[in-house]
């Protein structure tokens, strides 16, 4: 029975270009949507540009044009990038649309009527030159804890401390370069604590979330009262003015997700259908695809808004990790902060789509784009294994028909058909990496068949031309079957294969029946090898490319945004400072992953006797928890405990290395004892 499925991906912010870090999510979502359509389900993919906020307002002002002009230009650019990466939306809207404004008001009234809205005074830094309040990411200054300069207004990237913008020493607005002043203004808040019981049930049951996400929410947020959510900003602000609060505007994070519904509504109007069929019907599944940095909102605030306003709750929120390049965060100085358009100037998007698919599981682990592995995988799998099947056989029956009936292949095609349901289950569960492994195994079988039959040898014998056609018909059917399975990842290859075999490939069921009697058309190259020079040119262009305003490329709500440049060195310390550090031997008693953190492991250390410490260490890329238990390490025992959003960290383990997988814990001699001082 066909399913009706509505799918969304997070809305890209209209103040920056699409880059390869963004594309992980849109490729992941597009693959899932294409798979569902291939299976015969009605699957609709909706997205929109996220267009409101201070950053948009300031940039438009600096460029001397209206916000509307700026966001229209950026939407066109975003759509072109998505289209060229073969990402297809059923509708791509804008959060500045009349549909979104009307829906914001409808949901706001529901929240008001439910008694969930209140008003409180909020103190923020104010830019007197730009005449606007500043979000944390628009303020830089000296860290009040360690004295590191050029730190953002919410946390220090040198010592890791968190603080409020008002605590920064010598704060400077990144918008104007002036010193902001502290001002107080009333803000409107939504309280979701009244929905605590509902949210606990929804997040912990029904398979709406990945298990690690459910556990994370349970431990970190649902174990205590849920905080109120600040949903308004005072003028000036580019956004929708709140209908019953003149001079106040809905915060970008209030109207952005409502854009999911608004984009659906735009499509419904074009199709002459009702919105309720898709957002207020039990017959429609709703699937959100997001990055783990916005988990909190999509799993607590957003369900609370939908529940209060009478809209469908998500059937599933699919959450993925971040993209690193060569084991490190993307960097302009290293040329690994690659815009979508820069990539397209040098490389086929199929390579990226396949590489990401080969790395994506249904968990929250980060993905690393190792550039050498990227080259090797594309050349070995796509060219060497997959396309090679057709290139070796199609030419031998060019212009002629495939064998009828289908020849005896010793059960190869039937075995491939049986693998179809296993591969389909992998796609359904977003375990694309396993699906790619299964598909490439089929490609290896097909290549072995060709090697064993040697059609190039049969071609030389006039009496074996029927056998030649049978061998090539079998090989091309195995190729067609594999291409159907991988078509959600490589739609362009499916199109080319359909042209080769005189048949459109648009249904998963086609992989269950071999093709007979169709004309094989002239083979044209389907995919070329990647040359290292192409990748190097892409890196060079990214390094030399236009300046990207780091603090303005993410909307204000993105508290996880990190600077793209290499981190600065800490300021010098004296020997008197250094001797204060108390280094002790510690034994790791427990080690575990930290839900919601992409780099941290949580360690329980013993410093002898009952002296135990809870420590968070950024060593996840280099060590597995099970390999650490029982190990002796060196711990900074007198480090002031620091409150992190994952809990209290009561020390620090010592390690060295460039980062990523190359981090090496300092290990004392085997005879050392926990608690022993290190000199």
Quick: pLDDT tens for 259-307. 999 999 999 999 999 999 999 999 999 999 999 989 999 999 999 999 9
For residue 487, pLDDT over 80 is answered with yes
Segment 547-557 shows an average pLDDT of: 41
pTM of the model: 0.80
DSSP bridge pairs for 633? 586
Q: Could you say which DSSP state residue 166 is in?
A: G
User: Using CA atoms, how far apart are residues 83 and 64, in angstroms rounded to an integer?
Assistant: 29
Segment 407-418 shows an average pLDDT of: 98
CB neighbourhood size of 270 (10 A): 10
The confidence band for 658, taking pLDDT boundaries of 50, 70 and 90, is: low
Residue 562: the pLDDT is: 29
Of 616 and 629, the one with more pLDDT: 616
Residue 671: the pLDDT is: 63
For residue 545, pLDDT over 60 is answered with no
The confidence band for 555, taking pLDDT boundaries of 50, 70 and 90, is: very low
pLDDT for 74-104, tens place per residue? 999 999 999 999 999 999 999 999 999 999 9
Length of the chain: 679
Counting residues of the chain whose pLDDT is more than 70, the rounded percentage is 93
Q: Could you say which DSSP state residue 381 is in?
A: I
CB neighbourhood size of 607 (10 A): 19
Residue 430 labelled as part of a binding site: no
Residue 24: the pLDDT is: 98
- Three-state DSSP class for 36? helix
For residue 671, give the H/E element and its range.
none
Residue 146 labelled as part of a binding site: yes
CA atoms within 13 A on the CB side of 137: 18
User: Using CA atoms, how far apart are residues 85 and 79, in angstroms rounded to an integer?
Assistant: 10
User: Using CA atoms, how far apart are residues 328 and 476, in angstroms rounded to an integer?
Assistant: 41
Least Cα distance to 480 among 433, 439, 522 occurs for 439
Q: Which residues of 657-666 are buried (b: 16+ CB within 10 A; e: fewer)?
A: eebeeebebe
**From 39-48, 133-142, 336-345, 439-448, the region with the lowest mean pLDDT:** 133-142
Least Cα distance to 640 among 664, 613, 617 occurs for 613
160 burial level (CB within 10 Å; 0-12, 13-18, 19+): middle
Residue 557: the pLDDT is: 39
Chain position carrying tokens 């700026």:
70
575-665 in CATH: which number? 2.40.50.140
| Long-range contacts of 382-386, Cβ-Cβ distance < 8 Å, separation of 24 or more | 382/350, 382/351, 382/354, 382/490, 382/527, 383/527, 383/528, 383/529, 385/440, 385/443, 385/444, 385/447, 386/440, 386/443, 386/479, 386/482, 386/483, 386/486, 386/493, 386/527
pLDDT for 8-21, tens place per residue? 999 999 999 999 99
Q: Could you say which DSSP state residue 535 is in?
A: H
Can you give the residue ranges of every domain in the chain? 4-116+191-321, 122-188, 348-512, 575-665
For residue 312, pLDDT over 90 is answered with yes
Write the CB contacts of 514 (distance below 8 Å, at least 6 apart in sequence). 406, 413, 477
The answer to whether 249 and 242 are in contact (CB under 8 A) is: yes
Average pLDDT over the chain, rounded to an integer:
90
β-strand pairing of 4-9 with 284-291: parallel
122-188 in CATH: which number? 2.170.220.10
Tell me the Ramachandran region of residue 495: left when phi exceeds 0, alpha when psi lies from -120 to 50, beta otherwise.
alpha
- Three-state DSSP class for 73? helix
Residue 136: the pLDDT is: 78
Tell me the Ramachandran region of residue 628: left when phi exceeds 0, alpha when psi lies from -120 to 50, beta otherwise.
alpha
Segment 625-645 shows an average pLDDT of: 82
User: Using CA atoms, how far apart are residues 488 and 500, in angstroms rounded to an integer?
Assistant: 19
The answer to whether 517 and 401 are in contact (CB under 8 A) is: yes
pLDDT for 24-61, tens place per residue? 999 999 999 999 999 999 999 999 999 999 889 989 99
Segment 628-651 shows an average pLDDT of: 82
- Three-state DSSP class for 217? helix
Residue 568 C-alpha from the chain's centroid: 27
Question: What tokens were used for 355?
Answer: 């590489």
Kindly report the three-state secondary structure assignment for every residue of 431-465. CHHHHHHHHHHHHHHHHHHHHHHCHHHHCCCHHHH
User: Using CA atoms, how far apart are residues 253 and 52, in angstroms rounded to an integer?
Assistant: 9
Counting residues of the chain whose pLDDT is more than 90, the rounded percentage is 72
Segment 480-486 shows an average pLDDT of: 98
The confidence band for 669, taking pLDDT boundaries of 50, 70 and 90, is: low
User: Using CA atoms, how far apart are residues 654 and 640, in angstroms rounded to an integer?
Assistant: 15
Chain position carrying tokens 């783990």:
292
213 burial level (CB within 10 Å; 0-12, 13-18, 19+): buried
Q: Could you say which DSSP state residue 293 is in?
A: G
Residue 563: the pLDDT is: 28
Of 338 and 655, the one with more pLDDT: 338
Chain position carrying tokens 């060497």:
384
Question: What tokens were used for 5?
Answer: 């499925």
CATH 1.20.1260.10 fits 348-512, yes or no: no
DSSP bridge pairs for 46? 8, 91
Residue 610: the pLDDT is: 67
Residue 332 labelled as part of a binding site: yes
Backbone dihedral angles phi then psi of residue 270, each to the nearest 5 degrees: -65, -30
User: Using CA atoms, how far apart are residues 604 and 612, in angstroms rounded to an integer?
Assistant: 7
**From 8-12, 234-238, 487-491, the region with the lowest mean pLDDT:** 234-238
Outline where DSSP puts E strands in 366-410: 367-369
For residue 609, pLDDT over 80 is answered with no
> DSSP characters for 563-610?
-SSPPPPPPP--HHHHTT--EEEEEEEEEEE-TT-SS-EEEEEE-STT
For residue 643, give the H/E element and its range.
strand 642-644
User: Using CA atoms, how far apart are residues 459 and 449, in angstroms rounded to an integer?
Assistant: 16
Residue 573: the pLDDT is: 61
User: Using CA atoms, how far apart are residues 296 and 558, in angstroms rounded to an integer?
Assistant: 11
For residue 566, pLDDT over 60 is answered with no
Segment 529-554 shows an average pLDDT of: 74
Which fold is adopted by the domain 4-116+191-321? Rossmann fold (3.40.50)
Q: Could you say which DSSP state residue 150 is in?
A: S
Residue 154: the pLDDT is: 75
Backbone dihedral angles phi then psi of residue 497, each to the nearest 5 degrees: -65, -40
Residue 159 labelled as part of a binding site: yes
């Amino acid at each position: 029975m066909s399913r009706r499925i509505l799918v969304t991906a997070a809305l890209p912010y209209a103040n920056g270009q699409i880059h390869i870090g963004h594309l992980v999510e849109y490729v992941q979502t597009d693959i899932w949507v294409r798979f569902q359509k291939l299976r015969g389900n009605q699957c609709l993919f909706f997205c929109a540009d996220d267009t409101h906020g201070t950053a948009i307002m300031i940039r438009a002002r600096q460029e001397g044009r209206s916000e509307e002009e700026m966001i229209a230009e950026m939407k066109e650019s975003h759509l072109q990038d998505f289209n060229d990466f073969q990402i297809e939306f059923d509708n791509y809207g804008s959060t500045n649309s009349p549909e979104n404004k009307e829906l914001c008001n409808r949901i706001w009234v529901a929240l008001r009527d439910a008694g969930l809205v209140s008003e409180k005074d909020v103190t923020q830094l104010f830019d007197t030159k730009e005449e606007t309040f500043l979000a944390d990411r628009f303020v830089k200054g000296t860290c009040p804890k360690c004295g590191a300069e050029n730190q953002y207004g919410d946390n220090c990237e040198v010592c890791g401390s968190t603080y409020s913008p008002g605590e920064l020493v010598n704060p400077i607005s990144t918008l104007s370069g002036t010193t902001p002043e502290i001002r107080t203004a009333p803000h409107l808040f939504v309280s979701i604590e009244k929905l605590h019981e509902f949210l606990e049930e929804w997040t912990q049951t029904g398979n709406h979330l990945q298990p690690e996400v459910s556990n994370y929410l349970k431990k970190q947020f649902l174990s205590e009262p849920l905080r109120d959510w600040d949903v308004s900003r005072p003028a000036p602000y580019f956004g929708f003015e709140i209908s019953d609060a003149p001079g106040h505007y809905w915060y970008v994070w209030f109207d952005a997700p409502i854009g999911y519904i608004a984009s659906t509504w735009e499509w419904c109007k074009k199709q002459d259908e009702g919105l309720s069929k898709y957002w207020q019907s039990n017959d429609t599944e709703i699937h959100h695809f997001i990055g783990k940095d916005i988990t909190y909102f999509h799993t607590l605030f957003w369900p609370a808004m939908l529940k209060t306003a009478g809209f469908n709750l998500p059937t599933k929120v699919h959450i993925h990790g971040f993209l690193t390049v060569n084991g490190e965060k993307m960097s302009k100085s290293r040329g690994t902060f690659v815009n979508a358009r820069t990539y397209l100037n040098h490389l086929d998007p199929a390579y990226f789509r396949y590489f990401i698919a080969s790395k994506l599981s249904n968990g929250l682990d980060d993905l690393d784009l190792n550039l050498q592995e990227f080259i090797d995988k594309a050349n070995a799998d796509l060219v060497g294994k997959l396309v090679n099947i057709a290139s070796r056989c199609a030419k031998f029956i060019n212009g002629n028909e495939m064998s009828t009936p289908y020849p005896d292949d010793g059960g190869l095609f039937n075995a491939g058909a049986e693998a179809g349901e296993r591969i389909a289950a992998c796609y359904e569960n977003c375990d694309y990496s396993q699906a790619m492994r299964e598909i490439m195994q089929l490609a290896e079988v097909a290549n072995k068949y060709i090697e064993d039959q040697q059609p190039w040898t049969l071609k030389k014998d006039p009496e074996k031309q029927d056998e030649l056609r049978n061998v090539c018909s079998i090989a091309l059917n195995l190729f067609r079957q594999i291409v159907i399975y991988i078509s959600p990842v490589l739609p362009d290859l499916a199109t080319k294969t359909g042209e080769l075999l005189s048949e459109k490939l648009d249904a998963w069921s086609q992989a269950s029946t071999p093709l007979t009697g169709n004309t094989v058309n002239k083979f044209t190259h389907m995919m070329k090898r990647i040359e290292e020079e192409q990748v190097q040119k892409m890196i060079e262009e990214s390094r030399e490319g236009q300046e990207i305003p780091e603090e303005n490329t993410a909307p204000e709500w993105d508290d996880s945004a990190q600077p793209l440049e290499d981190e600065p060195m800490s300021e010098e310390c004296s020997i008197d400072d250094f001797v204060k550090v108390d280094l002790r031997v510690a034994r790791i008693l427990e080690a575990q992953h930290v839900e919601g953190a992409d780099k941290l492991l949580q360690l329980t250390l013993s410093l002898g006797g009952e002296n135990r410490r809870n420590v968070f260490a950024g060593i996840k890329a280099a060590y597995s928890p099970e390999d650490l238990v029982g190990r002796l390490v060196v711990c900074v025992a007198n480090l002031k405990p620091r409150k992190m959003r994952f809990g209290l960290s009561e020390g620090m383990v010592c390690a060295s290395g460039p980062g990523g997988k190359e981090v090496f814990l300092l290990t004392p001699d085997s005879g050392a004892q926990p608690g022993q001082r290190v000199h």
